[in-house]
Amino acid sequence: MADYRNINIRNKRATFDYEILEEFIAGVVLVGTEIKSIRAGKASLTDSYCYFQDG
């Protein structure tokens, strides 16, 4: 089985619409069929969000 730990996803639209002042590395918890789309290279970050926990 291939090693999928090196999958990187970039939001190209965010760099077009916004000025990026800081970058953070984040983990994502996937449940259900999302992982199949990620592995196929067809992930979508539309309507996604993040929040900071514990600082």
User: What pLDDT is attached to residue 45?
Assistant: 67
- DSSP label at residue 18: S
CB of 9 within 8 A of CB of 45? yes
- Residues 15 and 13: their CA atoms lie apart, in Å, by 5
pLDDT range class, residue 2, cuts 50, 70, 90: low
Q: What is the mean pLDDT of residues 6-23?
A: 80
| pLDDT band at 10; cut points 50, 70, 90 | confident
The amino acid at 12: K
Q: Which of 14, 23, 22 is nearest to 44 (CA)?
A: 14
Q: Please report, rounded to a whole number, the percentage of residues in the chain having pLDDT higher than 90.
A: 2
DSSP state of 29: -
* Domain regions of the chain by residue span: 9-16+23-47
- What pLDDT is stored for residue 5 in this prediction? 63
